[in-house]
Amino acid sequence: MPALAHTVQAKFASQLIATQRYREQETAVIHREGLLPIARWLKSDAAMSFDFLMDISAVDYLKFGRTLSSAPTLKTPSPLPYYMTPKPTAETWQRGVSNDDYRFDVVYHLFSSRHAHRLRLRIPLTSADPVVDSLTGIWASANWYEREIWDMFGIRFTGHPNLRRILLYEEFQGHPLRKDYPINKRQPILKTPANAANSP
Amino acid sequence: MASAPDLSQLNWVTTRVDAALGWARKFSIFQYPFVTACCGMEYMATATSHYDMDRFGAGFPRFSPRQADVLFVVGTISQKMAPVLRRVYDQMAEPKWVVAFGVCTCTGGFYDDYTTVLGIDTIMPVDVYIPGCPPRPENVLDGLMKLQDKIAQGAGTTLAAGLSVRPPELQVPHRPDAHL
């Protein structure tokens, strides 16, 4: 199986932060400036022809990996079975970006129905500037995914034609899947004496 | 020569009319099923022939709240859905009753988050709580019979907008720092 992420690396070396390969799943970590050219090439190139954007999601790494107990899994796969793999330490975790302000990842899952291969793109973003280009011009399915990520994480997509909340209501304040959203905070539309106690 | 009316006789007549009304109402429950989630499967199992809710005179769902007597709230209610449910309730004509079907409608169940209403009794009065995730059909029929008892005791038992009082076993203290 050709290493797709390495092909991306060879062509877009300046935009690439890292490549990962874990159990036949390939990931390319890229700068957000490279998203549009890389996405256009991944869709149009005959050897790639990623015609299906399966999913877009986001991750909030607000406290993730900052302590030893919450350190993530090893970057490189271990030859040992998972239950014998050494406990990961904080030092094994390299985000690929040096900025201390790093907080979010936007994750794209691509699939090619011609070659039946998959690729994952990850874009690290900072908490001060959580903005990335919209892919709606390349894959139409990006439209609702990006609205959902805006709704849940407050990450903005420049160039999106209709970046409104998709699941929650317009009156909702904040973005509930951010790790600093209070877990018990409720914002009822229909306010009554009985639910006022749980409301801000 | 007319004698004074016997008040005790009149009282006796009045109570018998109430009892007859209650008896008639409890066997002709027109329900409005407000089904939003997985409890709906158990509701259907109860309503159809195996358990046969129609034995209790409650077999005929009406899909207009104006024609319904009992509102069955079946399934999780989100904050976005709450105004809709309240409007359905307000559209129902008196006398009317509300059944909270499943633990999500009783207390919110295991949902304790930004989007779920923690019990529909925070937004409207409730007459009968049927807990369970989902409740068994026997449990639902038990709740239905309790509702029938309540209807037979007299119409208009629904509390006014001041909301009902949760039974003690369903009272959950609010813990704003539970996640810390």
Domains within chain A, CATH numbers bracketed: 4-163 (3.30.460.80)
Percent of chain A at pLDDT exceeding 90: 38
Does residue B168 lie within any of the structural domains? Answer: no
CA dihedral B97→B103→B109→B113, nearest 10 degrees, is -30
Whether the Cβ atoms of residue B116 and residue B79 lie closer than 8 Å to each other? yes
Using alpha carbons only, how large is chain A's radius of gyration in Å?
19
* Least trusted range by pLDDT, from A10-24, A42-56, A100-114, A119-133: A10-24
Question: Tell me, what's the ipTM?
Answer: 0.72
Percent of chain A at pLDDT exceeding 70: 78
Residues of A in contact with B79 (CB under 8 A): 169, 186-190
Q: Is the pLDDT of residue B120 over 50?
A: yes
Helices B39-47, B137-153: crossing angle, 10 deg rounding: 70
Two tokens, residue B150 = 């309540």
Domains contained in chain B, number: 1
Smallest Cβ–Cβ distance between A192 and the set B114, B122, B178 belongs to B122
Share the mean pLDDT of chain A. Answer: 80
Torsion-angle region of residue A107: left (phi > 0), alpha (psi -120 to 50) or beta? Answer: beta
Does residue B10 lie within any of the structural domains? Answer: no
B179 interfaces chain A, CB cutoff of 8 Å: yes
Q: Is the pLDDT of residue A57 over 50?
A: yes
Share the mean pLDDT of chain B. Answer: 81
pLDDT band of residue B42 (cuts 50, 70, 90) is: very high
Among candidate residues B92, B41, B102, the one with its CA nearest the CA of residue B70: B92
Cα separation, A15 vs A32, in Å, equals 8
Does residue B127 lie within any of the structural domains? Answer: yes
Distances (CA, A) of A6 to A1, A24, A95: 12, 13, 18
Q: Is the pLDDT of residue A92 over 70?
A: no
Burial of residue A1 (CB within 10 Å: 0-12, 13-18, 19+) is: exposed
Domain coverage including residue B128: 28-156
Q: Provide the pairing of β-strand A25-30 with A16-22.
A: antiparallel
Smallest Cβ–Cβ distance between A195 and the set B115, B122, B175 belongs to B122
> Given the structure tokens 């909702």, which residue do they identify?
A172
Does residue B133 lie within any of the structural domains? Answer: yes
Distances (CA, A) of A195 to A186, B37, B79: 9, 22, 11
- Sheet containing strand B30-35, strands side by side: B60-61, B30-35, B70-74, B97-101, B128-130
Minimum distance, in Å, between the CA of residue B83 and any CA atom of chain A: 6
Question: For residue B157, what pLDDT is reported?
Answer: 46
Does residue B3 lie within any of the structural domains? Answer: no
Task: Give mean pLDDT, residues B127-139.
Answer: 92
Select the residue from A153, A184, A187 to test the B interface by mutation, using most B Cβ atoms within 10 A: A184
Does residue B105 lie within any of the structural domains? Answer: yes
Does residue B163 lie within any of the structural domains? Answer: no
- We report the CATH number of the domain holding residue B50 as 3.40.50.12280
Of A18 and B84, the structure prediction assigns the larger pLDDT to B84
